Amino acid sequence: MLRIHDTRARQVESIKPARALRMYTCGPTVHRRAHVGNLRSYLLSDLIRRVLERQRVRVVVCQNITDVGHLAESGEDKVHLGARAEGRSTAELARDYEAAFKADSAALNLRPAEHTPRASETIGEMVELIAKLIEREHAYTTPDGAVFFAARSFPGYGEISGNRLDTLKPAHGLVTADPRKRFHADWALWRPAEGELTWDTPWGRGFPGWHVECSAMALTFLGERIDLHTGGADLRFPHHENERAESDAAAGHEVVEHWVHGEHLIFDGRKMAKSTGNLVRLSDVADAGLDPLAVRLALLEHRYRHQMNLTWDGLRAADQTLRRWRSRVAAWSESPSAPMATSYVERVEAAFDDDLDTPAALRVLLDLEGDESVAPGAKFESFLHLDQIFGLDLSIEIGKSPAALPPGAAELLQQRSRAQEAQDWPAADRLRAELTALGVRITDAPEGQTWI
C-alpha cells in the first residue's frame, strides 16, 4: 500500500482509495516552455499513478492547462505578456506552448491525464462556481464588476501552508491591499477587464482569478470527492490554500483527502531563472546529446519532497547509467529465461510504497545489476518488470544490431575518446552531439564508449 506525505496532515499517510483513485495535478501556465524544474512536479504525479496501477488501482487524473488568469507580479496576465514579447496572439502562443509541454511530457514518459481541460474553455463552470459562492455568502461583488472570496468565511484557512488569516498582512506573498476588499486577505474570483481573453458574466465583463480556475476544473472533471491533489511546493500558498477554501465552501465538506507537494529544483546551486542564464529545458538536454530520460533518472535519484540540486555532471552520469542498463538488458535478453529475482523486486516496490523513496529503489536496482548470483535471464525479467514503475525505456535496445559507421564518424569517435581521457567534458558533449546528428548513438560504460 502506498504511503505518502500529506502536506496538510504533516505526516506520511496511507492511500486507501475506496474506488478508482481521483487525482488532480495543477498543470502548466502555457506562456513559455517548461523547464526541468517545472517538469519535476509532473514526475511526482506520474510516479504516484504508476505505483498505484501496479497495485491494480484504477487512477483517473485531471491536469489542467492554464491559458488565462495567471498574473505576473506586474499584475498582467502571463500569457498576454508572453504573446506581446514574442509578437504573437495569445491563442497562438498558448497552443504552441501547450503542444511543447505535451511533447516534453511524452519524452519523459509521463502518462497523459484522462482530462486536460483548458481554463479558457471552462469559463462557464467557473461562473457557476462563483455564483454558488456568492449565494452561500463566501464571496461578494464590487460596483466595478469584481468578485472577491471572503477569506474569513472559511475557518479552516491556512491548514495547508500554516499561513493563518490573523497573521497575514498586506504584501505577505500575494496578499495585497485593495480598497475594494472587505478584508485584506480576500482574493479575486473575477476581475473586470475588456479586450482579449475576457468574457461576459452577471457581474460584468472580465476574466477569472487563477485559483478559482483549478477549483472549477477539479470539481467539474473529478467531482466533489478527490483522493489526491499534487503540485509543486510553491503552490501551497496562496494557490492551494485558496483553491481548498473555494472548493470546500462550495461543496460544504472537505473535497481533497490528501495534498502532496514536490520540493523545488535548483540548477548548479542556483534557482533557475532567465535572468541568471541557467534556465534548462528538456530541449537543452537533448541538444547536449543526452537522452531526455536521463532527466527522469536524475530526478529519481532524489526524493520528491527534498530540494534537489541538478547539474550537468549529474545529467551526464545519469545518461551513462541509462545507456549502460539498456545495453545490459539487451544482452540479458539473449540468455535463457528465468523467474524474476523476487527479493529484489519486492525491495524496489517497498521503497516506492515508502513515500516514493526513489533513491532507495535505484540502489536496489544497482545491487541487482551487480549480483553475479542472479541469472541474466532473471535480471532481464526483473528489470523489465520494474521499468513499468521507473519508466526509463530499458528495453529500447533489444533487437537492435550495429550498423556501419557513416563517413566521418570513426574520426569523431576517436576524438571523443581522447576528450574523455583528458576529462574535457564540454568537448566530449560537443562530439556526442555531432555524432548524434550523424545518426550514431553513444553509450558510455566503464569499459569505454560503444555505439549503435
The half-sphere exposure of 275 on its side-chain side, counting CA atoms within 13 A, is 2
Q: What is the largest CA-CA distance in the chain?
A: 77
- State pLDDT tens for residues 428-447: 878 888 887 887 777 665 55
Mark the binding-site residues for Zn(2+), compressed into ranges: 26, 214, 239, 243
Q: What is the pLDDT of residue 324?
A: 95
End-to-end CA distance of the chain: give it in Å, rounded.
Answer: 41
Give percent of the chain above pLDDT 90. 76
Q: What is the pLDDT of residue 76?
A: 84
Mark the binding-site residues, compressed into ranges: 26, 214, 239, 243, 274
Burial 346-366 (b: 16+ CB within 10 A, else e): ebbbebbbebbbbebbbebbe
Residue 310: closest CA among 348, 263, 355: 263
Confidence class of residue 19 from pLDDT cuts 50, 70 and 90?
Answer: confident
Instruction: Report the chain's mean pLDDT, rounded to a whole number.
Output: 92
Q: Is 276 exposed, middle or buried (0-12, 13-18, 19+ CB in 10 A)?
A: exposed
Mark the binding-site residues for ATP, compressed into ranges: 274
Give percent of the chain above pLDDT 70. 95
> What domains are defined for the chain?
3-262 (3.40.50.620), 267-400 (1.10.730), 402-452 (no CATH)
- Of 14-28, 231-245, 309-323, give the lowest mean pLDDT range: 14-28
- State pLDDT tens for residues 67-98: 998 988 777 889 989 999 999 999 999 999 99
> 348 is written with which cell numbers?
524496489
- CA pair distance 41, 376, nearest whole angstrom: 35
Average pLDDT on 212-233 reads 97
Note the pTM of the prediction, 2 decimals: 0.86
Strand partners, 24: 62, 229
Residue 110: closest CA among 34, 57, 55, 56: 34
Strand partners, 228: 23, 258
- State pLDDT tens for residues 335-358: 998 999 999 999 999 999 999 999
Q: What is the pLDDT of residue 447?
A: 52
- CA pair distance 300, 291, nearest whole angstrom: 15
Residue 218: closest CA among 135, 151, 122, 78: 122
Backbone CA torsion sign across 382, 384, 389, 391:
positive
- State pLDDT tens for residues 266-309: 998 888 877 677 889 999 999 999 999 999 999 999 999 999 99
